[in-house]
Structure 1
Amino acid sequence: MITWLTYGITGIAALAGLLCVVLGLIGRKPSDLSLGSAALVELLLLVQLVVAIIAPATGNNIYGDPIEFYAYLICALIIPAAAVFWGLLDRTRWSTVIVGVGLLAVSVMVIRMEVIWTTVAA
């Protein structure tokens, strides 16, 4: 994995998650801002997927368990899409909070993927 990309995705996902949680708690329904921020995180995760596929071919190998890494990556790809789907179906302020919580979970998962990629398995 590329470290700066990992931290960039983590930071953007965390900021977008906090924004969505705050917007939901003040009563805003899902909008272009909240759903668009989730779409941006999804796009960045797709970039991460491409990097994770290409990186081993260039010598940047996974030191941890590759199955665990790709399981985290696939789940991280599903969460923003499912949260946006929920936000489009349930047009209440709580769905905006759900999108935010999903994005906060993705930020934690990306950090865990970095740990799996760089830490030697026992």
Structure 2
Amino acid sequence: MIEWFTVAQVGVAAAAGLLCVVLGLVGRRPGDVSVGALALVELLLLAQIVVAIVAPLAGNPPTGDLLEFWTYLVSAALLPAAGIVWAFVDRSRWSVVVMGVLALAVAVMVYRMHVIWTIQGA
């Protein structure tokens, strides 16, 4: 994984999560801001999938378990999509809070993916 890209992903996911939680708790329903924030998190995860495919070919192999890394990555990529679907089905303020919690979970998962890729010994 690329360190600056990981930091950017964690920062964007955490900011989107906090934004959505605050918007939901003040009573806002799903809208362009909340769904757009989660869509940005999803876009960055899709870019991370490409990076994870190209990085070993460019001489940056993972030091940890590759299966565990891909399990985290695929699961993390499914969470924002599920949150956006939830927001379209349940148009309440609580769906925005759920989107925020999902984005915060993605931030933690991306950090864990970075640990698996770079820090763990074989």
TM-score per shorter chain, which class? Answer: over 0.9
Contact 1:65 1:121 in 2 (8 A): no
Residue-by-residue CA offset, 1:29-69 (whole Å, 9 max, x unaligned): 00010001000000000111100000000110000000000
Mind listing any 5+ residue stretches in structure 1 that lack a counterpart? none
SS at 1:91 equivalent:
coil
Asked whether 1:7 is paired with 2:1, we answer: no
Instruction: Give the Cα separation in 2 of the matches to 1:23 and 1:119.
Output: 36
Match of 2:37 in 1: 37
Aligned residues: 122
User: Where do residues 1-122 of structure 1 align in structure 2 (5 Å cutoff)?
Assistant: 1-122=1-122
Q: Aligned letter for 2:41?
A: V
Instruction: Give deviations 1:78-122, integer Å, cap 9, x for gaps.
Output: 000000000010000000000000000000000000000012335
* Counterparts of 1:32 and 1:41, CA distance in 2: 14
Percent of aligned positions that are identical: 59
Cα RMSD of the aligned pairs, angstroms, is 0.7
How much does 1:22 deviate?
0.1
- Please list every run of 5 or more consecutive structure 2 residues that lacks an aligned counterpart in the other structure: none
Q: More displaced, 112-121 or 77-86?
A: 112-121
TM-score, length-scaled by structure 2: 0.98
Structure 2: how far apart are the matches of 1:103 and 1:30? 14
